[in-house]
Amino acid sequence: MEPTSSPRQLARETIRIESHLDGTNERSLADDVLDGLTRPFKELPPKHFYDARGADLFDQICDLPEYYPTRAERAILEERAAEIAELTGAVELVELGSGTAAKTRVLLDALQAAGTLERYIPVDVTESMVRDCAKTLTSEYPGLRVHGVIGDFERHLDRIPPAAGPRIVAFLGGTIGNFPPGSRRRVLRQIAGLLGPGDHLLMGTDLVKDPRVLEAAYDDSQGVTAAFNRNVLHVLNRELQADFDPEDFDHVALFDPHNEWIEMRLRARREHTTLVRDLDLPVHFDAGEELRTEISAKFTPERLQSDLTAAGLELVRWLTDPDELFALSLSRIHAH
Ligand code: SAH
Ligand code: TRP
């Protein structure tokens, strides 16, 4: 145990990092894999993509010509951050799935310019990301305090410190779209629990558009997304002593027009059985059998509205880019 510090010391502390992932329960990987690989239709939850290599590949995805969401979201932020800062009067920014916090700087700049910025609270499962961004941001923003939370935003939202004043909870990058509809509302309800009456949720969602544009964004010509998708197998090999050959699988990205989401799959090139040694689990794949690794839901304003309403939230602003590729929504808890 670290020695506890007095409230005064805490208030002055520039960087504070708390980890809620321990070795045995690390990201719940073993349980997720045991569930996911024994289902009749094999499936893995998306958070396991992001080890250090996965995080690096995701960074490369964000720069790909085909992957428009990052550029579109950044453009909206650049256009509207001052308005967001003024409307919210936020003294602190909590960011879920913060990653490298690349676009976050646009918001931090605006809050700093408005003179309200005091604290940034990044929350991510990837330890190195939280530590690195705490270091760089405290040096880039003198006076900023960073309270990093290494944890799972599905399980550890209760570990986020109480608000020190008006707060923005940011959930960028369309990550909410990686949850199927029921889980999406459950996550949103939990996030709503972080908000008091003066607080706001700022959430990025990708919008429904031409399926060719969507599929290209998840199946780029340089094969970076394919490498990212296969990386989850490297994670299983390393962390659970599995013996997948990632080259036994093709990367597949398809738009499902009924559900209006992108599905990412890994398709076995040949019949084979792999062993997940730590779980004593042989996993059989038929030739052509698919493992679903990710969905990425695309939104209409109506879909977002109904999800927000179901979570007890009300829309304050709907912000989009000129081509309506991507949207940021600013919402708050519903006043009863
Ligand atoms: N916000 C950044 C990164 C998006 S990628 C952007 O907009 O570009 C998704 C990020 O969420 C990754 O950094 C990943 O590590 C993190 N993440 C995914 N699932 C998570 C979970 N369940 N809990 C906490 N972080 C998670
Ligand atoms: N949240 C991002 C999205 O849905 C994550 C992502 C981008 C992703 N490209 C990917 C996940 C490729 C898996 C595979 O857009």
pLDDT (tens digit, 0 to 9) for every residue of the chain, 336 residues total?
445 555 555 556 899 999 998 765 556 899 999 999 999 999 998 888 988 899 999 999 999 999 999 999 999 999 999 999 999 999 999 999 999 999 999 999 999 999 999 999 999 999 999 999 999 999 999 999 999 999 999 999 999 999 999 999 999 999 999 999 999 999 999 999 999 999 999 999 999 999 999 999 999 999 999 999 999 999 999 999 999 999 999 999 999 999 999 999 999 999 999 999 999 999 999 999 999 999 999 999 999 999 999 999 999 999 999 999 999 999 999 986
| Nearest CA, atom 14, ligand 1 | 97
**C-alpha dihedral sign at 78, 294, 176, 32:** negative
CA of 171 to the centre of ligand 1 (A): 9
| Nearest CA, atom 1, ligand 2 | 175
pLDDT at 209: 98
Tell whether ligand 2 has an atom less than 6 A from the beta carbon of residue 214: no
User: What amino acid occupies position 219?
Assistant: D
Residue count of the chain, please give it.
336
Tell whether ligand 2 has an atom less than 6 A from the beta carbon of residue 231: no
Ligand having the closest approach to the CA of 265: 2
DSSP character at residue 180: -
200, containing H or E segment: strand 200-206
Distance CA 148, CA 131 (A): 7
Tell whether ligand 2 has an atom less than 6 A from the beta carbon of residue 205: no
Question: ∠175-98-116 over CA atoms, to 5°?
Answer: 120
Structure pTM? 0.95
| Nearest CA, atom 3, ligand 1 | 99
pLDDT at 1: 45
Task: Indicate the SS3 state at residue 319.
Answer: strand
CA of 333 to the centre of ligand 2 (A): 28
Question: ∠161-333-300 over CA atoms, to 5°?
Answer: 115
Tell whether ligand 1 has an atom less than 6 A from the beta carbon of residue 50: yes
DSSP characters over 124-166:
ES-HHHHHHHHHHHHHHSTT-EEEEEES-TTT-GGGSPPPSSS
pLDDT at 28: 83
**C-alpha dihedral sign at 98, 156, 177, 193:** negative
- DSSP alpha helix (H) spans, 200-267: 211-217, 224-240
Asked if residue 111 lies in contact with residue 140, where contact means CB atoms within 8 angstroms, the answer is no
Task: Point out the ligand 2 atom lying closest to the alpha carbon of residue 294.
Answer: 13
CA of 190 to the centre of ligand 2 (A): 22
Q: How many CA atoms lie within 13 A of 281 on its CB side?
A: 21
